[in-house]
Chains A and B, each alone.
Chain A
Amino acid sequence: MTVTKQPARPPAHDRPTLAGRLWAPGWIRAALSQPLSFLVALALTVGIRAAYKYDPLFDWDAITTVALITMPLGFIVGIGCFDYWFRWASGAPTIAEDHSGHGAKTWKDYFRVNTDHKVIGIQYIITTFFFFIVGGLMAMVVRAELAQPGTQFVDPNTYNGLFSVHASLMIFLFIIPVFAGIANYVIPLMIGAPDMAFPRLNALSFWMLPTAGVMMMASFFAEGGAFATGWTAYAPLSTETPIGQQFFTIGVQFAGASSIATALNFLVTIITMRAPGMTFWRMPLLVWANFTTSLLVVIATPFIAGSQFFVLLDRSLGMNFFNQAAGGDVLMYQHVFWFYSHPAVYIMMLPGFGIVSEVISTHARKPVFGYRMMAFSLVAIVILGFTVWAHHMFVSGMHNWLRVPMMITTMLIAVPTGIKIFSWLATLWRGVIHLTTPMLFALGFITMFTLGGISGIILAVIPVVIHVSDTYFIVAHIHYVLFGGSVFTIFAGLYHWFPKMTGRMYDERLGKAHFWLSFIFFNLTFGPMHFVGIDGMPRRVADYADEFATMNALISVSSFFFGLSFLVFLYNMITSWRNGPKAVANPWRAHSIEWQVSSPPPIFNFDEIPTVVGGPYEYGVPGAVHAVFKDVPVPAKAKPAPAGGGGAPPPTE
């Protein structure tokens, strides 16, 4: 490892002059950029208003809106994401990439722009967990307010802000990007690539995220409070509410741009940078999962960007996309929004499917049952996922005829999803099951996600939906799918790859305690919501009828214990990362490539590029290997796998 302590700098900045230090990419420059970009916003707004002779000259809503665009951009430039491109574009000599920025030697290296996918992966995970904690604390306040009928702790405006910011952070700043973080770390290693295809774009993707999250949190300080229209931000409410709404409208653009850039990066990486012999049909299912997820992101995310741009233009420039009095179309918002936001549900689930396939196969010591169908079902979900958006709109007043086709396509998604559930169960059958923490979370996922899937089927049947839409039944369903589903797989993945990422082992007893506590209190928190929802309690209310008091008290108490269970995880992660026992390269005896290198992996992943010779899950097949390194003798012939197995014959290139 020939890593110099300081990243290479152009000669002009070599001298540690004050100006040089201020000009160097990093936190000082990022901090300086903030007042500067605010001044830019101020000058731009006031200048234009003066030119048009608008009164008043200082319109704080307009200034805030422009500042919400310039300040994050200023931060991203200040921290250094654009330095290389700016130099290149201006014709200045670019700094040759000597990879000195790769790797992280101290914790401080995680706080600068870094192009190493492993560093970026960890940056993603830590950042998203920060927002997970903030969003979780907001949920705790929401539950405190709902513990009794009536108003106790927060007024309705703050309450609406709390659940809106909670959902937005959890969706846009936690679940979607944490999967991108895990994949960022694992995917290049899994496919035998030294890094992602576009490392600088990768860094830019990451640094856009905190700006979006901070913006959403900062909306609480806006005049009139945080955005309070739910994460769905339905127009025309969202075009009429105070300035806090802009923090969502613009924040989503940054989170979305980050998401799209990462997805493109994954697609190019997976398509072009697989190790020799790594055919598509030898890719681990996590790679398949992220490949299909990235397709979804690239196709769908521009739609939510569009829907929020419409809102932004309506609010700021007086356009009338959603002003029906001026010919706007209110329902269009929902169609465009859900055309993204339903596929987004799969963006938040498919990577978890991938993680669970890895975890179950490895910890049950068996090949994934029906590998090809597992991959095909991902593709089927991607395609079907685009045909079901209007099931969110069964009572929206849209065309009645559209409901039945959407009911049918929605229910059909149960078929590929069922294939996955049953194949995981068949993978467990006759395995040698090690009940490690990741395995427990994977099993918890299968059972809880089945429940969420069943309530999902119920939520396709129009007559039932007419009754339960916008009730707590929906809240229950989405948390079964996103917490019992996605978040359980995130925990499974983090425990599974913790040794690889940190080079340390986590505490297994604490891990199991975390699982059981969160499994029990998850069900006690969200299970009863099904009942109160069907019984008539609408969602997004700060106050409710007295008949629901007992159930809500139970839900709130459980939710506090549920929140506390997360502390076990946090304590385990922190202490194990600092003092846990050293991890060996391959503690789970897994076959996929990331486990064949040291823990944590070498700075450039592989001292020698691996050659893939068989499927990734050939547990129990005598003599089967997934990949070999050049200095390891290649086995005479990897045994061809039986039908449905991962070992497609080598390509005849």
Chain B
Amino acid sequence: MLGMVVVSVLATIVGIAISLAIDWFPPQASTAAEDIDLLWDVLMIASVPIFVLVMSVAIYSVLLFRAKPGDLSDGAPIHGNTRLEIVWVTIPFIMVSALAAYGWVVLNDIEEKQANDMVVNVTAQQFAWRFDYPDDGKVKSNQLVLAKDRPVEFHVRTEDVLHAFWVPEFRLKTDTVPGLTTQIRVTPSKIGEYEVVCTELCGLGHSTMRQNVRVVSQEEFDTWLSEEQKQEQGEQASAAGGDQASEGKRVFTEDGCASCHSLADAESASRIGPGLDDLGDTARRMGKRHGQSPAQYVRAAIANPDASLTRDFNAGVMPTDFEKRLSPAEIDTLVKYLLSVSGGSK
């Protein structure tokens, strides 16, 4: 008995030491990460003794009370012990109540609204993320850039199905839900490069739905922001000035095409959908078969992708609502751009 107690106390100490020594989490890159990692350590300290207790009683029972060969006797006819039962109802009750209270406190801390926070709108779609900074000159971007120590409030939306917005180093996550804008608050605390990871199964490209996050110093962030603003104005000007190629490329990369289709001109290499570098040929051939011009064919394939499947690709993968998401003018520009960079506008 004494041996058992000594061994289990030692095992508990060793177990707690190991559980604290293990580097469980990715690096901490937000203020919430510290709180959550500390909460985890407390949970480990509370869990290890319970597990060791169960293991020790089980192992010691087997060692002490194992039947000798041929032993047909029965054990002690003990039916219960009210005092013991009260103990093992009360102690777990107190433990979980305390842990729940502590969890609640941490939850309030990490979700508290910060003064001076910056809103970033996040838009998810199969299988890409877009970010815009409504407070700071309405910048739109494909990568998430944040300033160290500047609190952020993410407003997260989706254009199609459920996704989940997660940056492991920040420890924070929220689903994106059609019809809702979900919010999370983060204060980045460490300069570095991370990834937004989609964690809610969203279709074939789910495992590729990742995008870069950069946490930079405030100065660097400001520089980036003003450059983006300039670039944006430039693009708008060129689009207004009829630079259809760059506008088409913008639609291709920003409105989701690039997250599934490869296209050398747009530096996209994704292989979820058919590659578009030889779209010109395909469109000419298929268009002829259906009595359409190449442009008509491409247009129809964008509006109703399942009707014009290529070999090795399945129906139901490509969203069928691009005709709604994009304006007719945008689709025109996109079609022209696609044909122009894939040898289809000869």
Residues of chain A touching chain B, judged by Cβ–Cβ distance below 8 Å, are 156-157, 160, 223-225, 228-230, 234, 236-237, 240-242, 324-325, 328-331, 364-367, 369-373, 395-397, 403-404, 407-408, 411-412, 414-415, 418-419, 421-423, 425-426, 428-435, 443, 446-447, 450-451, 454, 457-458, 460-464, 466-467, 469-471, 531, 534-536, 538-545, 589, 618-621, 641-646
Contacts and interface: CB of A to CB of B under 8 A. Distances in A.
Contacts of B106: 463
A467 B24 contact: no
A73 B231 CA distance: 63
A619 B74 contact: yes
B127 to A, nearest CB: 10
Contacts of B107: 403-404, 462-463
A643 B82 contact: yes
A539 to B, nearest CB: 7
Interface string B103-141: 110110010000000000000000000000000000000
Given A367-B78, A418-B88, 20 more contacts: A156-B205, A157-B317, A160-B206, A228-B204, A230-B201, A240-B161, A328-B179, A370-B80, A408-B100, A422-B88, A425-B54, A431-B75, A431-B76, A460-B103, A461-B39, A466-B171, A467-B172, A538-B207, A545-B195, A589-B72
Contact of B58 (A370, A428, A539): A428
Given A240-B316, A620-B76, A432 B67 contact: yes
A242 B73 contact: no
Given A432-B71, A454-B50, A644-B79, A467 B173 contact: yes
A387 to B, nearest CB: 14
Main SS of the interface on chain B? mixed
Contacts of B152: none
Interface centre among A225, A365, A369 (most CB of B within 10 A): A365
B221 interface: no
20 contacts: A156-B272, A160-B204, A223-B314, A225-B314, A240-B160, A240-B316, A241-B203, A366-B76, A370-B81, A397-B180, A425-B54, A443-B58, A460-B100, A461-B99, A462-B104, A463-B171, A467-B168, A471-B199, A621-B77, A646-B79
B285 to A, nearest CB: 24
Interface centre among A461, A469, A531, A642 (most CB of B within 10 A): A461
A646 B103 CA distance: 40
Which 5 residue pairs across A and B have the least CB separation, nearest first?
Answer: A644-B80, A324-B179, A645-B79, A536-B168, A541-B207
B323 to A, nearest CB: 14
Interface stretch (B89-97, B246-254, B274-282, B337-345): B89-97
Interface of B: 22, 24-26, 32, 35-36, 39-40, 43, 47, 50-51, 54-55, 57-58, 61-62, 65-67, 71-82, 84-85, 88-89, 92-93, 96-97, 99-100, 103-104, 106-107, 110, 160-162, 164, 166, 168-169, 171-180, 182, 195, 197-208, 272, 314-317
Contacts of A435: 62, 66
Interface centre among B84, B96, B198, B317 (most CB of A within 10 A): B96
A370 B316 CA distance: 56
Nearest to B32: A463
B200 A234 contact: yes
A377 to B, nearest CB: 9
A464 B43 CA distance: 10
Nearest to B197: A538
B37 to A, nearest CB: 9
A148 B204 CA distance: 19
A237 B173 contact: no
Contacts of A443: 58, 62
Nearest to B201: A540
A621 B74 CA distance: 9
B42 to A, nearest CB: 9
Given A236-B162, A463-B103, A464-B43, A414 B96 contact: yes
A340 to B, nearest CB: 19
A228 B71 CA distance: 55
A411 B99 contact: yes
Contacts of B200: 234, 470
Nearest to A545: B195
A541 to B, nearest CB: 4
B103 A462 contact: yes
A157 B201 contact: no
Given A414-B92, A419-B85, A543-B207, A237 B161 contact: yes
Contacts of B97: 408, 411
Contacts of A229: 201
A619 B76 CA distance: 8
Contacts of A230: 201
Nearest to B195: A545
B49 to A, nearest CB: 11
A544 B77 CA distance: 55
Contacts of A434: 67
A425 B36 contact: no
A324 B272 contact: no
B35 A463 contact: yes
A473 to B, nearest CB: 10
A450 B73 CA distance: 30
A397 B174 contact: yes
A224 B206 contact: no
B75 A619 contact: yes
Contacts of A464: 36, 39-40, 43, 103
A450 B36 contact: no
Interface centre among A242, A458, A536 (most CB of B within 10 A): A536
A467 B79 contact: no
A395 B65 contact: no
Contacts of B47: 454, 457-458
Interface centre among B25, B77, B197 (most CB of A within 10 A): B77
Contacts of B43: 457-458, 461, 464
A419 B208 CA distance: 45
Contacts of B175: 395-397
A543 B210 CA distance: 12
Contacts of A621: 77
B99 A620 contact: no
B103 A407 contact: yes
Contacts of A426: 78, 81, 84
Nearest to A642: B79
Contacts of B72: 589
A428 B177 contact: no
A421 B54 contact: yes
A466 B172 contact: yes
Interface centre among A435, A457, A618 (most CB of B within 10 A): A457
B129 to A, nearest CB: 14
Nearest to B204: A156
A434 B65 CA distance: 9
Contact of B202 (A237, A471, A543, A646): A237
A539 B104 CA distance: 26
A620 B77 contact: yes
Contact of A645 (B22, B80, B171, B178): B80
Contacts of A618: 77
B74 A432 contact: yes
Contacts of B103: 407, 460-464
Given A538-B199, A620-B74, A467 B61 contact: no
A480 B175 CA distance: 26
A428 B80 contact: no
Given A224-B314, A443-B58, A457-B99, A429 B65 contact: yes
Contacts of B201: 160, 229-230, 234, 237, 540
Given A365-B75, A454-B47, A464-B43, A432 B197 contact: no
A41 to B, nearest CB: 21
A242 B207 CA distance: 19
A54 to B, nearest CB: 17
B196 to A, nearest CB: 11
Contacts of B58: 425, 428, 443, 446-447
A268 B73 CA distance: 38
Contact of B171 (A157, A371, A467, A619): A467
